[in-house]
Amino acid sequence: MTDVELQGLQAGPAFVDRRCYTDPQIYALEQKRIFGHAWQFIAHDSELQNNGDYRTSELAGQPVIAIRGADGELRLFLNSCRHKATMVMDKKEGNCDRMRCPYHHWSYDTCGKLVNVPKIEAYGSAFRMQDNGLAPVPRFERFAGMWFANLDPAAPALQEYLGVAAPLLEEVGTYNGEPLVALGSYHYSYDGNWKLLMENTLDDYHAEYLHDYAFAQRAAVFGMKGTSGFQEKEGSRFSLELDIHGAFEQCDDVRTLTIQKERERRVYLGLFPNFIALYNPVWDVTGFRVIQPVAVDRTNVLNYCLAPASASAEERRAIGERFHYSWGPGGRAGVDDIMVFARVQKGLLAAGGGAINISRGIEHTDPRGGPADDHAVRALWKGWRSFMLGKQDGVTT
């Protein structure tokens, strides 16, 4: 697929060609041009507090491992032995004092240095241990307790990449300025393109229809008698275009704030391409979603539940329960979304069905759009165009 053909897939900001969700060639280019150059979430501070703590992940399909070294420094390496390329660590997380490849037992310390090679004499006098440590990922930076990485050594600094979205990310990534801790995480998968979840989270239009039953149940569970659900202050509900990032925000009505009264602003922030940070003041819960593409029509999602670092054991238990009620593996809204993603992906295969419409609020030129506008969704596609057509690596198919 040539760049000219790519350009024709989204002629203007209001419509998207169905092939952007269904074409394996486009998916392959996304891995190279988007995920090979964009900043992506790797881990949270609280997961890697002790020397030897590690967490594995992927960047553009490449295995990586974040590990806190014996010197206390956090580093990110390609999770691939320098001998036969075997993944050195295959567990999602853990603690170790040495990383040993299972194939031939080449061993690396927690700072990534090669420290043992069985029968090293066979490699001859030119072989140097110091030249064969684990390969570091070019860029690894921290923001508000969150660690992000980039495979592109020439990428802009993380703070520059976040741009106008940085204050919102700091707001969600802390609790009134206090650090957060991850209470736990879980994975799920859905049969659909990776962009569907980002669009869905930023889409304020679907909630009252797709989640109508869940909304009615929440009103009862959270003690909101006399209300129809999560009501907002009049004039406080917006869809935000934050350059290539997007967000839905609103201030919730005081009647719905039955758990806490300090934070009224709800923020669902989508950082291009695949990180979502959410705070819901009604539940008083913070969540992260990390979108992990598997195939053009298959996606894994890593979900975090977080709490203020000062929260007691009982407060953390209650936060976990409220998180689970909607965003957890048995959550009501999440089940609705997973179901509809599969139906959307199947519907996208109707090639003659016309372009996908993301034009709501298109005449509102202010980057802050009104209720149910598509400003945040169009920001995602602005990022898509920027990376797919702006990252010229000389490879077309």
Q: What is the pLDDT of residue 216?
A: 58
Q: How far is CA 369 from the centre of its chain?
A: 23
Q: How far is CA 319 from the centre of its chain?
A: 21
Closest CA to 141 of 92, 75, 79: 75
Tokens of 348: 């996208």
- CATH code that applies to domain 40-142: 2.102.10.10
Q: Name the one residue in this structure whose structure tokens are 């070019």.
A: 138
Tokens of 236: 């406080």
Q: Is the pLDDT of residue 12 over 90?
A: no
Tokens of 72: 């206390």
* Residue 189: C-alpha distances to residues 159, 290, 329 (Å): 30, 12, 11
Q: Is the pTM of this model over 0.85?
A: yes
* Residue 293: C-alpha distances to residues 137, 271, 344 (Å): 20, 15, 17
In tens, the pLDDT along 33-46 reads 999 999 999 999 99
Q: Which residues of 18-54 are buried (b: 16+ CB within 10 A; e: fewer)?
A: bbbbbbeebbebbebbbbbbbbbbbbbbbbbeeebbb
DSSP 243: T
Cα gap 40→273, rounded to integer Å? 8
Range list for CATH 3.90.380.10 in the chain: 164-387
Decide if 237 contacts 250 (C-beta within 8 A). Answer: yes
Half-sphere exposure of 280 (CA within 13 A, CB side): 21
Q: What is the pLDDT of residue 6?
A: 77
Q: Is the pLDDT of residue 211 over 70?
A: no
Q: What is the pLDDT of residue 225?
A: 47
Q: Is the pLDDT of residue 229 over 80?
A: no
10 Å Cβ neighbour count for 9? 20
Q: Is the pLDDT of residue 5 over 50?
A: yes
- Tell me what the pLDDT averaged over the chain comes to: 91
In tens, the pLDDT along 139-165 reads 999 999 999 999 999 999 999 999 999
Q: What is the pLDDT of residue 210?
A: 72
Q: Which CATH number fits domain 164-387: 1.20.1420.30, 3.60.15.10, 3.40.50.2020, 3.90.380.10?
A: 3.90.380.10
Q: In this predicted structure, which of 232-236, 292-296, 299-303, 381-385 has the lowest mean pLDDT? A: 232-236
The two most distant CA atoms of the chain are separated, in Å, by 81
Q: Is the pLDDT of residue 286 over 80?
A: yes
* Residue 180: C-alpha distances to residues 144, 145, 175, 301 (Å): 9, 8, 7, 21
Render 252-270 in DSSP notation, one character per residue.
Answer: BPGGG--S-SS--EEEEEE
Q: Is the pLDDT of residue 166 over 50?
A: yes
* Residue 58: C-alpha distances to residues 153, 189, 282, 300 (Å): 17, 16, 33, 12
Render 158-170 in DSSP notation, one character per residue.
Answer: HHHHHGGGHHHHH
CA angle 309–142–389, rounded 5-degree value: 130
Q: Is the pLDDT of residue 316 over 80?
A: yes
